[in-house]
């Protein structure tokens, strides 16, 4: 792995807000007001006289689930990289979430188990934010839209306008900013446009219809089924705020196909508990089924789900992981970028979505602060973003691809087998060796690039640990 890629990734993770940057645009438009769009709007607020977020969902209700984020009732944990980036750009959000009952979780209040083997402590004070997704989005939105030059247009983006090879406007239709039911149709003149329309973004189709290159869509079939419920969280668990159990396929825990279980201590003194299964494995739709699955897991999950139910089971299914290869597209209009799930959406169990969105915003800040010609396609932005997407894809899609190939008996090249063998050794050694656990966690938490795992000294230690375990 080229050192420059590793260094670039880590510079994006550590990016600070700029000081005294020049105003580049009169009007910037962000299509989509979820986490990715809001963070992009925050970056643009320093560089545009006005930023307009075009969002089709009514976001006036606080901390409510909405149709534009169908997975928002499932477990969401803000990884350390994403939390640190958001906290730099929106200071105090973590504390505000805690004031509302969310948990800032350090290593002393986590249980991470692989087949009931607890992972070795890594000696670092990494902190997650365990919070309901609707609440976090509400807090981020309140901070961003409180900026004097940021506003929200309640409408659906329906297309783009172009001039001289660049995007110059966004067409929209919807209620607008008037009363419920009032239609607003027209177009918004814009000097820069961000696509943050999520997994179902229509931008690629618009580009093809408008005579530009359609970015190649890559899909990795990885059907995952989620079941999530909310339970009362009594004070009897002050020492634990996050529990995660992975790959529970051992005879000791006949988990009925539950591959991953996770529990987060969130607002309103609740446990948000999620069960996940692959393929035909369904974790259950009723509380009785849900609790029965938990009874086959490590005991902590039975204890957590014994309390009163505050929300019934909500299910979610995602058929595949996706990424759109904008960096490969030969002909794109200038003054247009895409962020968040509109570019890459992963198996949610890896928890990369919100942190990836934060790092995409970091890419946007870096791109706009460079001397790049804004009147040409945003090639440099997509190159930066590819570094982030490649890193996240290597962790989540790499693991899913290995599982799928193993289940199907697929023949894979020897080089791929060797890479997977190394990753298995590292993951196994992370259970018992603090140094390997530290390196593994830094990558899992999106703080460091996956290339750092191939350090010769680390590989030697992981191999020795694996050989020692096999000899027992």
Give residue for tokens 């009897």.
236
Give the pLDDT score at 236: 53
In a domain, residue 12? The reply is yes
In a domain, residue 462? The reply is yes
In a domain, residue 403? The reply is no
Q: What is the pLDDT of residues 277-291, one digit of tens each?
A: 888 888 888 999 999
In a domain, residue 169? The reply is yes
> What DSSP character marks residue 327?
G
Both 265 and 118 in one domain: the answer is yes
Q: Domain ends where: 319, 349, 368?
A: 319
Nearest 5 degrees, angle CA 396-CA 326-CA 357? 50
Name the strand (E) or helix (H) holding 99: helix 93-99
Both 225 and 301 in one domain: the answer is yes
Give the pLDDT score at 375: 95
Q: Is the pLDDT of residue 77 over 90?
A: no
Q: Give, in order, the Cα–Cα distances in Å from 387 to each of 78, 118, 287, 331, 469.
A: 20, 31, 42, 20, 35
Q: Give, in order, the Cα–Cα distances in Å from 160 to each of 40, 151, 175, 198, 328.
A: 18, 19, 19, 17, 21
Q: Domain ends where: 396, 420, 453?
A: 396
- Residue 210: give its domain's CATH number: 3.50.50.60
Both 389 and 328 in one domain: the answer is yes
Both 155 and 55 in one domain: the answer is yes
In a domain, residue 332? The reply is yes
- Residue 249: give its domain's CATH number: 3.30.9
Nearest 5 degrees, angle CA 180-CA 185-CA 188? 115
Report d(CA 154, CA 168) in Å as an integer: 20
pLDDT band at 369 (very low <50, low <70, confident <90, very high): very high
Q: Domain ends where: 264, 288, 319?
A: 319
Q: How far is CA 415 from the centre of its chain?
A: 29
Q: Cβ(227)–Cβ(282) under 8 Å?
A: yes
Q: What is the pLDDT of residues 230-288, one digit of tens each?
A: 999 876 555 565 666 554 434 343 445 567 888 888 888 899 998 988 888 888 889 99
In a domain, residue 73? The reply is no
Report d(CA 283, CA 273) in Å as an integer: 12
Both 338 and 355 in one domain: the answer is yes
Q: At what angle do helices 80-89 and 3-13 cross, to 10 degrees?
A: 50
Both 143 and 127 in one domain: the answer is no
Q: At what angle do helices 456-471 and 414-429 cross, to 10 degrees?
A: 80
In a domain, residue 119? The reply is yes
| φ, ψ of residue 106 in degrees (nearest 5) | -95, 175
Give the pLDDT score at 205: 96
Both 229 and 311 in one domain: the answer is yes
Both 25 and 89 in one domain: the answer is yes
Total length of the chain: 472
Both 117 and 91 in one domain: the answer is no
**CA nearest 160: which of 217, 212, 211, 210?**
210
Report d(CA 429, CA 445) in Å as an integer: 17
Both 141 and 56 in one domain: the answer is yes
Both 181 and 90 in one domain: the answer is yes
Give residue for tokens 């990795």.
220
Q: Cβ(151)–Cβ(145) under 8 Å?
A: yes
Give the pLDDT score at 395: 80
Domain count, the chain: 3
Give the pLDDT score at 249: 39
Report d(CA 27, CA 47) in Å as an integer: 9
Q: Is the pLDDT of residue 68 over 80?
A: no
For the chain, what is the mean pLDDT? 85
Distance between terminal CA atoms of the chain? Answer: 34
Q: Cβ(307)–Cβ(271) under 8 Å?
A: yes
Both 336 and 312 in one domain: the answer is no
In a domain, residue 41? The reply is yes
> What DSSP character marks residue 454?
G
Q: Is the pLDDT of residue 67 over 90?
A: no
* Residue 454 lies in domain: 412-467
């Amino acid at each position: 792995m080229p050192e420059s890629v590793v260094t670039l990734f880590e510079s994006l993770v550590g990016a600070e807000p700029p000081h005294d940057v020049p105003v580049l645009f009169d009007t910037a438009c962000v299509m989509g007001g979820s986490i990715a769009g809001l963070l992009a709007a925050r970056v643009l607020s320093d560089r545009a006289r006005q930023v307009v977020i075009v969002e089709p969902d009514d976001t006036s209700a606080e901390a409510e689930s909405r149709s534009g984020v169908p997975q928002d009732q499932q477990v969401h944990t803000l990884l350390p990289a994403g939390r640190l980036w958001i906290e730099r750009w929106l200071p105090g959000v973590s504390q505000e979430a805690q004031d509302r009952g969310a948990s800032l979780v350090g290593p002393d209040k986590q249980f991470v188990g692989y087949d009931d083997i607890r992972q070795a402590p890594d000696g670092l004070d990494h902190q997650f934010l365990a919070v309901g997704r609707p609440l976090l989005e509400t807090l981020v939105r309140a901070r961003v839209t409180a900026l004097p030059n940021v506003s929200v247009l309640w409408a659906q983006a329906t297309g783009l306008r172009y001039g001289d090879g660049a995007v110059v406007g966004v067409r929209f239709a919807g209620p607008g900013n008037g009363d419920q039911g009032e239609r607003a149709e027209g177009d918004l003149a814009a000097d820069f446009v961000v696509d943050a329309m999520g997994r179902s973004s229509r931008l690629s189709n618009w580009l093809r219809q408008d005579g530009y290159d359609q970015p190649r869509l890559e899909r990795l079939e990885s059907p995952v089924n989620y079941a999530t419920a909310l339970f009362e969280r009594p004070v009897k668990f002050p020492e634990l705020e996050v529990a995660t159990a992975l790959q529970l396929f051992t005879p000791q825990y006949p988990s009925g196909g539950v591959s991953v279980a996770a529990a987060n201590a969130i607002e309103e003194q609740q446990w948000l508990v999620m069960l996940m299964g692959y393929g035909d494995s369904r974790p259950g739709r009723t509380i009785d089924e849900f609790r029965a699955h938990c009874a086959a897991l490590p005991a902590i999950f039975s204890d957590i789900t014994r309390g009163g139910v505050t929300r019934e089971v909500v299910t979610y299914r995602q058929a595949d992981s996706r990424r759109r290869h904008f960096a490969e597209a030969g002909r794109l209009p200038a003054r247009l970028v895409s962020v968040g799930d509109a570019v890459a959406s992963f198996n949610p169990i890896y928890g990369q979505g919100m942190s990836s969105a934060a790092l995409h915003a970091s890419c946007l800040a870096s791109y706009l602060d460079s001397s790049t010609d804004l009147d040409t396609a945003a090639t440099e932005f997509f190159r930066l973003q590819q570094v982030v997407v490649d890193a996240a894809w290597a962790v989540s899609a790499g693991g899913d691809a290995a599982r799928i190939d193993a289940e199907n008996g697929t023949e894979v090249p020897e080089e791929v087998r060797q890479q997977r063998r190394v990753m298995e050794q590292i993951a196994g050694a992370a259970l018992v060796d603090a140094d390997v656990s530290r390196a593994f966690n830094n990558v899992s938490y999106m703080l460091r690039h996956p290339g750092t795992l191939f350090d010769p000294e680390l590989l030697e230690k992981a191999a020795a640990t694996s050989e020692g375990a096999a000899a027992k």
